[in-house]
A and B are shown apart, each in its own frame.
Chain A
Amino acid sequence: MLEIKNLHVQLEEEGKQILKGVTLTVPAGEVHAIMGPNGSGKSTTSYVLSGREGYEVTEGSATLDGRDLLEMEPEERAAAGLFLAFQYPVEIPGVGNMTFLRTAVNAQRKARGEEELSAGDFLKLVREKAKALDIDAEMLKRPVNVGFSGGEKKRNEILQMAMLEPRMCILDETDSGLDVDAMRLVAEGVNALRSPERSFLVITHYQRLLDHIVPDVVHIMHDGRIVKSGGPELALEVERNGYGDILAEAADA
């Protein structure tokens, strides 16, 4: 599904190298987690995959189902099935959450040559998905993320994901800022979407989320590279001992 090979990325303006050869494959139906110290390049990886401006790919490739992601516009990547739940969801004053969701859903359908959802069908679908995430009607009416609490913003990201039904979901620290109940709701939302055709890349600092969303593979990122990959037990090791041993071991290798 998602294949990242030897990805080198630098900041366009400063020329500072951030990713220094990221290689990672997420097969269809699997859940992979990325952990790693602050500033190691996790969010940068997610931004480069989804097409944010300001980064320059100097080497390597990234494909989704064999299609070159790096050649596409952000909206084309979305239509191809890529979704990023932002670490810091963006507030857009003046644009209603519903208008935003509906525009997004129908734009993607149109790009894929599918029929647009009628207003009635759309409303029914949103209500149903919002209810499962404990997002009330009032929140749906408000401008996108404006005045939402940190946890509400994260749940709103998952609502968008549930509506858009992407094939490749990247979750960047969706668990941070969530209370215990919200974390469970979010995990349920993610698990409800798990299927053999859908993959997840979950960026997190905490093992706790991975108790709910059990990963197939855990990757450790450090200084712009994946330095170690393993099973769910790797996350437990990080939780217990921090990154020290793992990074030292990687440096020796």
Chain B
Amino acid sequence: MLEAVKTQQTPVIEGAPRSARADVQLDARLAAAPAPMTGVTAPARADALARLKEQGLPGPRHEYWRYTDPAPFNAARPAPVALEAVAGDPKLFADVDKLRLVFVDGRFDAAASDDPALAGVEITTLAQADAQPGHWVAEAYGVLEAQGQKPVRRAFAALNTAVATDGAVIRVTGKADRPVQILYRPSDAGADVIVHHVLRLEEGAELTLLENGLLGARGNVVIEADLAPGAKLHHIAAPRAGVARIATTHLFARVAEAASLKSFELSVDGRHMRSESVVELAGDDAVAHVAAAVLGDGDNLRHDDTVFITHGALRGESRQVFKKVLKNGATGVFQGKILVRPGAQKTDGYQISQALLLDEDSQFLAKPELEIYADDVKCSHGSTTGALDETALFYLRSRGVPRERAIVLLVLSFLADALEEVEDEDLRAEIAGRLEDWLTAKAQG
């Protein structure tokens, strides 16, 4: 099934020429942003700010923003949301045994969180680490983000590094016996949440990171994850951005020799979401899997997954499985790129993006790309867009399964391949269960 494909080098995407209007917009955006921290992360923040000012905010004609309008992310402030509509913690992961870290409006809430004591794991917050002279975060903060700016500029990640208010700073030295959960809660109707998490997994360390909850009126999350040889990171994200549901998220990861990253994203109620994963397989035999199950419902919904995988060493294995279910005029976007550097022989790269359109008003825009500079590689990509299988639907109904329920079953079956990417069976069952609840509620509502 896999075939080797070679493509021409694509030009570095720098974006459209700067306009005076864009500069005014960036000034307004920065004026509304919180003042940067002044501790050990200050130099990295100054650097990110300089990079941001140099590149500016993306305009609508920016090549990398062709399918998703950056305007809601560019706006100085988000429109406030109705907080009563977002009250209560989500059920997702509620029953999972984990260590919970709560961030309210993007700031760590110690009283609402579990005691951050977990064998083999050192947990602190960005604000605390920033105030600690000599803390290792000084060497890590913004490093992978800065690297991830090439060859494609990612303005909102640079913005995040410059002005993030808080985040989790986690160093893993052993095998964590429980997942760490980052739970977002909003308290301010206008919260413009900018959080930045830094993860360092030492040699052979293992961690499962869960990330969910409601960000605020707007969200901007960056995760930088540095995996030393043999480390394993499982990341399951289901962040939501309040009723306004406007968010950008970036995962920057460097995967060293024989280390493995598995990242899965669940998105059920986005509005205007852009989720980027920028992963470098830096050591031999590194593994990186990125997957997502997305349910998009609504006229002005746009859910954009943008992935950039770089194979920089021998025998790397990368896998992308993106599935989107779209209805009522929703738009799904997938931009996925596999770059195989010269010398990255025996690379095994796989990418599939699929959309299930539940009506004719919805659409899926996919831009898969392979760029290969090694000759002994196995890379393939595929993208499909389809409607519900009417024959299967009739078969289920003919057995007495009501139409709505039959559609739920077929949607779950469509998403099954993406869910398979969640290795832990209990967590997979948890996600499948919540998905089913959500779909069932939607079908009845």
Which stretch of A32-40, A74-82, A115-123, A239-247 is in the interface?
A74-82
Do A100 and B394 touch (CB < 8 A)? no
Do B392 and A90 touch (CB < 8 A)? yes
Do B401 and A107 touch (CB < 8 A)? yes
Measured between C-beta atoms, what is the minimum distance from B365 to chain A in Å? 25
Do B401 and A51 touch (CB < 8 A)? no
Interface residue ranges of B378-431 to A (CB < 8 Å): 389-392, 394-403, 405-406, 409-410, 412-417
Measured between C-beta atoms, what is the minimum distance from B429 to chain A in Å? 13
Interface residue ranges of A88-117 to B (CB < 8 Å): 89-95, 99-100, 103-105, 107-108, 111
Do B403 and A73 touch (CB < 8 A)? yes
Do B392 and A103 touch (CB < 8 A)? no
Measured between C-beta atoms, what is the minimum distance from A162 to chain B in Å? 13
Do B400 and A100 touch (CB < 8 A)? no
Known: A73-B403, A90-B391, A107-B402. A95 touches B412 (CB 8 A): yes
Measured between C-beta atoms, what is the minimum distance from A143 to chain B in Å? 8
**Cβ-closest chain B residue relative to A54:** B390
**Cβ-closest chain B residue relative to A163:** B399
- Chain A: number of interface residues, binned into ranges: 20 to 34
**Cβ-closest chain B residue relative to A94:** B413
Do B410 and A79 touch (CB < 8 A)? no
Do A84 and B405 touch (CB < 8 A)? no
**Cβ-closest chain A residue relative to B415:** A94
- A100–B408 Cα distance when bound, in Å, is 12
Do A75 and B397 touch (CB < 8 A)? yes
Say which residue of B399, B400, B406, B416 sits within 8 Å of A94 (CB atoms): B416
* Residue from A52, A73, A79 with most neighbouring chain B CB atoms (10 Å): A52
Known: A53-B390, A74-B394. A164 touches B413 (CB 8 A): no
Do A104 and B409 touch (CB < 8 A)? no
- A154–B405 Cα distance when bound, in Å, is 24
Do A160 and B390 touch (CB < 8 A)? no
Q: A50 an interface residue at 8 Å Cβ cutoff?
A: yes
- A84–B398 Cα distance when bound, in Å, is 7
Known: A73-B403, A103-B405. A92 touches B398 (CB 8 A): no
- A75–B402 Cα distance when bound, in Å, is 6
Do B398 and A78 touch (CB < 8 A)? yes
- A239–B416 Cα distance when bound, in Å, is 47
Do B413 and A107 touch (CB < 8 A)? no
Say which residue of B398, B406, B414, B415 sits within 8 Å of A50 (CB atoms): B398
Q: A86 an interface residue at 8 Å Cβ cutoff?
A: yes
Measured between C-beta atoms, what is the minimum distance from B402 to chain A in Å? 5
Residues of chain B contacted by A75 (CB below 8 angstroms): 397-398, 400-403, 406
Do A111 and B397 touch (CB < 8 A)? no
Residues of chain A contacted by B412 (CB below 8 angstroms): 94-95
Do B394 and A92 touch (CB < 8 A)? no
Do B409 and A74 touch (CB < 8 A)? no
**Cβ-closest chain B residue relative to A84:** B398
**Cβ-closest chain A residue relative to B394:** A52
Do A78 and B397 touch (CB < 8 A)? yes
Do B413 and A93 touch (CB < 8 A)? yes
Contact with A along B354-392 (1 / 0, CB 8 A): 000000000000000000000000000000000001111
Known: A90-B395, A92-B392, A92-B395. A99 touches B409 (CB 8 A): yes
Do B400 and A51 touch (CB < 8 A)? no
Residues of chain B contacted by A108 (CB below 8 angstroms): 399-400
Say which residue of B390, B394, B403, B409 sits within 8 Å of A103 (CB atoms): B409
**Cβ-closest chain B residue relative to A47:** B394
Do A92 and B416 touch (CB < 8 A)? no
Do A92 and B396 touch (CB < 8 A)? yes
Do A111 and B409 touch (CB < 8 A)? no
- A130–B354 Cα distance when bound, in Å, is 36
Measured between C-beta atoms, what is the minimum distance from B339 to chain A in Å? 32
Residues of chain B contacted by A91 (CB below 8 angstroms): 392
Residues of chain B contacted by A99 (CB below 8 angstroms): 409
Say which residue of B389, B397, B405 sits within 8 Å of A73 (CB atoms): B397
Contact with B along A156-184 (1 / 0, CB 8 A): 00001000100000000000000000000
Residues of chain A contacted by B403 (CB below 8 angstroms): 73, 75
Do A107 and B400 touch (CB < 8 A)? yes
Say which residue of B400, B402, B413 sits within 8 Å of A92 (CB atoms): B413
Do B398 and A107 touch (CB < 8 A)? no
Residues of chain A contacted by B395 (CB below 8 angstroms): 86, 89-90, 92
- Cβ contacts A to B, 29 pairs, < 8 Å: A51-B397, A52-B398, A53-B394, A73-B403, A74-B397, A75-B397, A75-B403, A78-B397, A83-B398, A86-B395, A90-B391, A90-B395, A92-B395, A92-B396, A92-B413, A94-B413, A94-B416, A95-B412, A100-B396, A100-B399, A100-B409, A103-B409, A104-B396, A104-B401, A108-B400, A111-B400, A143-B413, A164-B399, A164-B400
Q: Which 7 A-B pairs have the closest CB atoms?
A: A94-B413, A78-B400, A94-B416, A74-B397, A108-B400, A104-B399, A90-B395
Which residues of A are in contact with B by a Cβ distance under 8 Å?
Answer: 50-53, 73-75, 77-79, 83-84, 86, 89-95, 99-100, 103-105, 107-108, 111, 143, 160, 164
14 more CB-based (< 8 A) A-B contacts, given A75-B402, A90-B392, A90-B394: A51-B394, A53-B394, A74-B397, A75-B400, A78-B399, A91-B392, A92-B389, A92-B409, A94-B415, A100-B399, A100-B409, A104-B396, A104-B399, A107-B405
